[in-house]
């Protein structure tokens, strides 16, 4: 996506936000349509259950609508919405169980056996991460947020986020990095 496309999308989102703030609730449907899939995926990775993720995503959009008058464009709307998602999912997981261990698992209907093996291997690596590590990894690697945006979402210092991400990468490489390279280098991964 070019920077023009990105700035055009941001302008459309900004227009929709202003319309909602002015009382045009229908304009919120554009915001939901733009963020529905990424918010659901984020929730699914954390909740590890499709129904719970769908319910969480719906709650997040309701909270976003209820609090949209508090949105100030000092951060991107996307980061603001992900902060709501982060807080909501964290609260749900805490309520579910104090010792609840979540897993970031990428579950899709995969047709190739190599892809199944690769997915299983990724899941094995992710099983050993804390909730905070999974959230940082998801926001940085999958959603491609900057350290500053992740810091805003998670109420951390950007330097802390960067250091935690660097430690996380080293941890994953030390744990299984060499074997994943040996296992999948021939498959073009």
Residue 129, token pair as written in the block: 């991460």
Residue ranges per structural domain of the chain: 1-101, 103-189
Look at residue 119 in the predicted model and tell me its pLDDT: 60
Q: Is the pLDDT of residue 176 over 80?
A: no
Look at residue 47 in the predicted model and tell me its pLDDT: 85
> From CA 51, how far away is CA 49, in angstroms rounded?
6
Tell me the Cα Rg of the chain: 18
Structure confidence by residue, pLDDT tens digits, 2-21:
444 456 677 899 999 999 99
Structure confidence by residue, pLDDT tens digits, 34-72:
999 999 999 998 888 899 999 999 999 999 999 999 998
Q: What is the mean pLDDT of residues 169-176?
A: 78
**Is 55 in contact with 96 (CB distance < 8 Å)?**
no
> From CA 173, how far away is CA 94, in angstroms rounded?
29
How high does pLDDT run on average in the chain? 79
According to DSSP, residue 176 is labeled I
**What CATH number was assigned to the domain covering residues 1-101?**
1.10.1740.10
Q: Which residues contact 162 (CB under 8 A, 6 or more apart)?
A: 147
CATH 3.40.250.10 fits 103-189, yes or no: no
pLDDT cut 90: percent of the chain above it: 45
**Is 161 in contact with 175 (CB distance < 8 Å)?**
no
Residue 42, token pair as written in the block: 């984020």
């Amino acid at each position: 996506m070019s920077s023009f496309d990105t700035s055009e999308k941001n302008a459309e989102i900004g227009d929709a936000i202003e319309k909602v703030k002015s009382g045009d609730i229908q304009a919120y449907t554009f915001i939901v349509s733009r963020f529905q899939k990424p918010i659901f995926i984020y929730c699914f990775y954390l909740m590890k259950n499709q129904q719970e993720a769908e319910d969480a995503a719906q709650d997040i959009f309701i909270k976003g609508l209820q609090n949209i008058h508090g949105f100030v464009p000092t951060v991107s709307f996307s980061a603001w919405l992900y902060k709501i998602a982060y807080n909501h999912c964290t609260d749900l997981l805490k309520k579910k169980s104090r010792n609840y261990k979540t897993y970031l698992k990428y579950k899709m209907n995969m047709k190739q056996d190599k892809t199944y093996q690769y997915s299983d291997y990724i899941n094995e690596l992710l099983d050993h991460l804390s909730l905070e590590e999974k959230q940082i990894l998801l926001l940085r690697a999958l959603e491609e947020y900057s350290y500053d945006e992740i810091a805003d979402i998670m109420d951390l210092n950007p330097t802390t986020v960067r250091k935690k991400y660097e430690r996380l990468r080293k941890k994953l490489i030390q744990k299984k990095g060499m074997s994943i390279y040996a296992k999948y280098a021939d498959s073009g991964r």
